Structure 1
Amino acid sequence: MSPLPPTAATHDTLRQLVHGHCDPSFLSALHKALTVDPWPASGSGSASASPSAYGTVGGHGERLLRRLRVLGEELPPARRLFDDPAQLATLHAWAAVADPSLCLTALVHYLLCLGSIDQLSDDPAALEAHMAALESGRAKGVYLITEVGQANSHLATATRAEFDPVRGDFVLRTPDARAAKFCSAGSRTVPQTGVVLARLSAGGTDRGVFAFVVDLTDADGLRPGVEMSSELELGALPLDYVHIRFHDVRVPFAHWLSDGARIGGDGGFHDPAASPDARLQRTLRVGQGLWATMPSVAAATCRQSAVMAVNYAQQRRTQGRFAPGAPLLDYRTQQRAVLGALADAFALTCAAHRASALWAESLAVQATPSRDAQQADTAMGFTPWAAVSAPLAGYKALAVRTAVRVVADCQRRCGFSGHLDVNGLAGYHGFHHAFDTAGGDSQLILYDIGRTLVEQHVPAAAPEAPDGLPPTSPHWWPALAQRHQYLLTDHLRQRRDLRADNASDPLDLWNPLLEEAGLLGELHATRLMAEDVAHTLTGTTDPVLAQALAPLAALHGVTTARRWAGSLLTRGTLRPPDIDALADAADRLCDAVLPHLPLLTQAFAYPDDITAAPLAAADFNAAVDSTLQWTLGGTA
């Protein structure tokens, strides 16, 4: 079927799908902020006027602080952005495409540091100066949660904040070397404000884990009592990583992000959260913003990666004896890979909208302490993340892992060009690969989600198989994934019940089952994304767009089913002939997607001045050549 000609309404609807319901003026301001050169063309003669002066630790921080300052100047204040999660998601998505290091810095600066102050402070006026400095980019925000000496440190925070009833403030201490915090705060001459998670001691009693606002550095260097290690290099995502310890650092009372807890004049302590786990969940609920934003970031980098891979496959001529001079995109293997990447990027885009909506709902109706306590008693296991929000934590885990796979596939399909730094794919891959453990370890999140599904499972009739739907239908995979999740859950529940009578403790019970629990957690997140795709298609009323997106959605389903083939066969969700038929279905869907490539790649691509990648050019060979300087021998 020939594609219908797109209308202005088609392009507008597709723009909203890709970039959210952001006002065009916001996108324009964001575009400007990300293309402004943070280094002045001419300076006062000081070292700060040249990026070459910042090749060491301080250079990363100075450059990124300048870029945060530009964002602060061009965009609405952060407190207004928190009223519109879609705008925050778009901000970080564009930042990731332009500069993954800036994206990570902004994620921590906005969502974790500013977000903690905005959501957890009971006295915002007392922290107004810090908020203003962070919003304007005059200070860089960091978040100090992970402690280096033990796994799952979030569940056993050792850093101490002891209340001093005489002075009415807190004394922040690192008790031993294992409790040192890991963070990207190594720029010692850049003003940095940290939100530090520490275990509050009041009246000699452990009161649970709270967040505290702490000045780490200023223009003169480290603040008194703050000890910083030398830089830890991480080539995949170059930032100024260090370890930090605290030696009797005085923290003002107003810098305690108490979230409703109180210390009275007589030293009496009251916390509306009913248990230590409930307190931890409330302190960590700012993580929902990070998890809700990561699908948008992953979708953006995957869309750009897929567009560049398609562009490469269209231009690159092969000289194989089968078809000399044929473009790479003529080969089915290449079509399945790069069009499959385009399909997965579309699926992530759909999931990103749902994740952003979930976060907006959580901001509008914050959980009550009693509900937190109930969740903590039943849900907290390997990490606190699934207990805080299982859907958003699951979206985060699936998004980063999907992006790692998609970007790696695009790199491989673009040959040597895919690995050149100038094309950005290596940076995208490093960013998402690092985020598999950052922001909540993805594997531990999936263990907890799978375990919770099994514990809550109630045996019933399995969902119907989609026998009346062919694999080329965009609704085939969502229905199949729902059935497969039930079968996996039911099987694992039976295995768990068989072990329950003889298990001596939870570790003994679950230790042999964790691999299957993680697989179930991953499938659950995969099913959520499949349903998001189906929901997006259902809401698409533009016939041109529906014609373009339906085969893309179905291709995502078929390629995902092929990746899950082993599990689908093991549980009998599909039979061998069903699996054999998926390759032909993928080819038919590729044929259906190909006529819509101009519309899709135009919509999915970011502006050239955001990416500056030769692989995105109309003639990528000429674009690469224009960046090179040539020297001819014998002409000196």
Structure 2
Amino acid sequence: MDIPAVPAKVDPDALTAVLDGRWAELRAGVRAQMSAEEFRDPVELDIEAHRAQVLDQLRELAATDRPALGFDRAYGGQSDIGGSVVSFEMLGLGDLSLMVKAGVQWGLFGGAVQLLGTERHHEKYLQRIMDLDLLGCFAMTEHGHGSDVQDLHTTATYDPAAQEFVVHSPDPGATKEYIGNAARDGHAAVVFAQLVAGGDSRGVHAFFVPIRDGSGKPMPGVTIEDCGRKAGLNGVDNGRLAFDHVRVPREALLNRFGDVAEDGTYSSPIESDGRRFFTMLGTLIRGRVSVGGSAGSATKRALTLAIRYGEQRRQFKSPDGDEVVILDYLGHQRKLLPALAKTYALHFAQEELVAKLNDIAPDAPEEEQRELESRAAGLKAANTWHATATIQAAREACGGAGYLSENLLAGLKADTDVFTTFEGDNTVLLQLVAKGLLTQYKEHFEDLSPLATARFVAEQLVGAVLERTSARKFVERLTESDDAEVLFDREWQLRLFEDREEHVLDGVANRLRKAADDPFGVFNAAQDHVLSAGRVHVESLVLSAFARAVDACADPEAAALLSRVCDLYALSAIEADRAWFLEHGRLTASRSKAVTAAVNELCAELRPHARTLVDAFAIPAQFLAAPMLRD
């Protein structure tokens, strides 16, 4: 098999063009604005100064046309959903507090008004939200309920005599928690509450609720508290909201999926309460996609800092008497280069996801929409866990210098830590991915709880398990070969990942078939297996996306380099899961050792291109202004 040689030098601009892809012009525009002095990193700011700076920066963004990207043209927007997500993702190259604040305002608050509301809400609020004339909050998470949104305690009870909803927090657990824009700047909130009409609960719906008056004081019955200093993201004014019989007009209900008539009669285009709930949440996946992409941007920044530092920092003398650049050590390469390869892989998977989100038709079949939601969940988990691990590795790779705030890695570490649990806890999201694989989102699959999951799977006898393909035979044939070059065969890599996914999924299905007698116990005992199914599916998806990006690359030199980076992603992922591949006969002991040798070989081969690979991210210079790089 011929393995294309990597050119001695590759133009980083050629790689940037590949990475920027479909929204290249937009990415360039965001980079240009972020290079302005107003967007500098807030290393020395206290909380109030940081919050004020972020709000000022938000106003700078509002003066451009980018906040309008994700909104309908009919209300002054541009109807460019993908561009909107990309713009949030690009903000992740700088101060992540700005990305989160922008995401809350235009992605979550504005997105909820647009996607859950109807014309009356659009005409009244959308232009003001885009212009930053109306700052708002997305009040879903409660003190007692985070991931379990379906069982929120906040109520909105309809009073037909007054034609008003009464929004109420019946217990301390119903306090809305960690709400961005609540502590300082927000004047309204989209509040998620159990709708009660005519004595019947209709499940969680969204309501537009003013929380401050024109002077900035809390509205009657609204209690606002400041969450105070957090581990990171202190430029975002997170707060707590509680409601004591707060009255809002009937029209405050965001009524796209459910409405209440003047007399209290409830109606909905979706009959099932469960389906309605998940359809409503499904419209709000843009935030989840944006968080995953922004985590990828922060990871790129951390790797750029660490690799540039590794190219200039020297430690210990070589036999010729010169001190060695630390990136020349294999151990240092292993800390950073496989992580860099995975960052590239996740970038291309994210690009495909954003394109699917942008291009999906509003009336697309439910199965297609559920597949998009599953992919968004899996990639958000993969991106954010990768960010946490990689930024830590980058910090360690920079030693004591990486621990100083002035060198930026400590701030990145703190700011991204919460990404693994907001916009969906990653563990819950991987279960969602696995459940989608098992059930193909059957119409009546309405509940995320383990008990409901287990019961459904038991009843259906796991009829939606993927059928076997020829993948295992292909893998076995090449595994028996002594040719080490097989490891670099892209088809073998793809089939190996595919075969692992099918085997793990079949195993989960077989275990859950026994759930009829003790559904919760069986599901709980198999939860590690369920999470594994979600993880290996995402790894297959990511490798496939990277392979397609390499095949589509028109620049031969860039394609050759990306091909080797793809090899490093695939083989380092195999190495990380060698126990499974050995236990299940997909690798022999000698082949397993060959995988490790191949990873070492690829690290050495890509070492001269490390700077090129991070320069291709084209991160604005001011966000790489770490004193450790000036030594």
For normalisation by structure 2, the TM-score amounts to: 0.85
Q: Does 1:577 align with 2:579?
A: no
Q: Does 1:317 align with 2:332?
A: no
Q: Does the 8 Å contact 2:337/2:610 carry over to 1?
A: no
**In the alignment, which residue of structure 2 is the partner of 1:348?**
346
CA distance in 1, matches of 2:182, 2:54: 10
> Shift of the alpha carbon at 1:396?
0.8
**In the alignment, which residue of structure 2 is the partner of 1:166?**
161
- Residue pairs, 1:39-438, within 5 angstroms: 55=46, 59-78=49-68, 79=71, 83-124=79-120, 126-150=121-145, 152-185=147-180, 188-218=183-213, 219-238=215-234, 239-319=236-316, 324-362=322-360, 364-366=361-363, 371=366, 389-438=373-422
Change in Cα spacing, 1:19 to 1:423, as seen in structure 2 (3 Å) is farther
- CA shift digits 1:297-335 (9 cap, x unpaired): 222222222222221111111115777501112111112
Counterpart of 1:428 in structure 2: which amino acid? L
Counterpart of 1:257 in structure 2: which amino acid? L
Paired residue secondary structure (1:287):
coil
> Shift of the alpha carbon at 1:367?
5.5
Q: Which of 233-242 and 222-231 deviates more?
A: 233-242
Name structure 2 gaps, 5 residues minimum.
439-461, 479-484
Q: Which of 395-404 and 569-578 deviates more?
A: 569-578
Change in Cα spacing, 1:358 to 1:2, as seen in structure 2 (3 Å) is closer
Of 10, 13, 16, the residue aligned with 1:11 is 13
> Shift of the alpha carbon at 1:462?
5.7
Q: Which of 430-439 and 518-527 deviates more?
A: 430-439
RMSD: 2.9
Q: Does the 8 Å contact 1:21/1:86 carry over to 2?
A: no
Change in Cα spacing, 1:490 to 1:259, as seen in structure 2 (3 Å) is same
Q: Does the 8 Å contact 1:191/1:217 carry over to 2?
A: yes
CA distance in 1, matches of 2:245, 2:497: 53
Q: Does 1:460 align with 2:462?
A: no
Q: Does 1:552 align with 2:565?
A: yes
Counterpart of 1:526 in structure 2: which amino acid? E
For normalisation by structure 1, the TM-score amounts to: 0.84
Counterpart of 1:298 in structure 2: which amino acid? A
> Shift of the alpha carbon at 1:77?
4.1
Paired residue secondary structure (2:310):
helix
Counterpart of 1:274 in structure 2: which amino acid? E
Counterpart of 2:556 in structure 1: which amino acid? P
Change in Cα spacing, 1:574 to 1:2, as seen in structure 2 (3 Å) is closer
CA distance in 1, matches of 2:515, 2:490: 40
CA distance in 2, matches of 1:473, 1:236: 43
CA distance in 2, matches of 1:121, 1:308: 43
**In the alignment, which residue of structure 2 is the partner of 1:37?**
38
Paired residue secondary structure (1:217):
coil
> Shift of the alpha carbon at 1:508?
1.8
- CA shift digits 1:5-39 (9 cap, x unpaired): 657xx835x33433342353663355325635289
Q: Does the 8 Å contact 1:472/1:589 carry over to 2?
A: no
Counterpart of 1:339 in structure 2: which amino acid? L
Of 566, 576, 579, the residue aligned with 2:579 is 566
Q: Does the 8 Å contact 2:156/2:168 carry over to 1?
A: yes
Q: Which has the higher contact order (CA 8 A, sep 6+)?
A: 2
Name structure 1 gaps, 5 residues minimum.
40-49, 376-385, 623-636
Change in Cα spacing, 1:257 to 1:387, as seen in structure 2 (3 Å) is farther
**In the alignment, which residue of structure 2 is the partner of 1:500?**
515
Change in Cα spacing, 1:301 to 1:190, as seen in structure 2 (3 Å) is closer
> Shift of the alpha carbon at 1:243?
2.2
Counterpart of 1:357 in structure 2: which amino acid? A
CA distance in 1, matches of 2:355, 2:51: 32
Paired residue secondary structure (1:338):
helix
CA distance in 1, matches of 2:298, 2:248: 40
CA distance in 1, matches of 2:277, 2:20: 34
CA distance in 1, matches of 2:279, 2:272: 11
Change in Cα spacing, 1:94 to 1:500, as seen in structure 2 (3 Å) is closer
Q: Does the 8 Å contact 2:468/2:502 carry over to 1?
A: no
CA distance in 2, matches of 1:235, 1:171: 35
CA distance in 2, matches of 1:59, 1:215: 26
Aligned pairs, number: 585
Paired residue secondary structure (2:185):
coil
Change in Cα spacing, 1:34 to 1:11, as seen in structure 2 (3 Å) is closer
Change in Cα spacing, 1:291 to 1:340, as seen in structure 2 (3 Å) is same
Of 487, 499, 505, the residue aligned with 1:471 is 487
CA distance in 2, matches of 1:213, 1:30: 34
> Shift of the alpha carbon at 1:281?
1.2
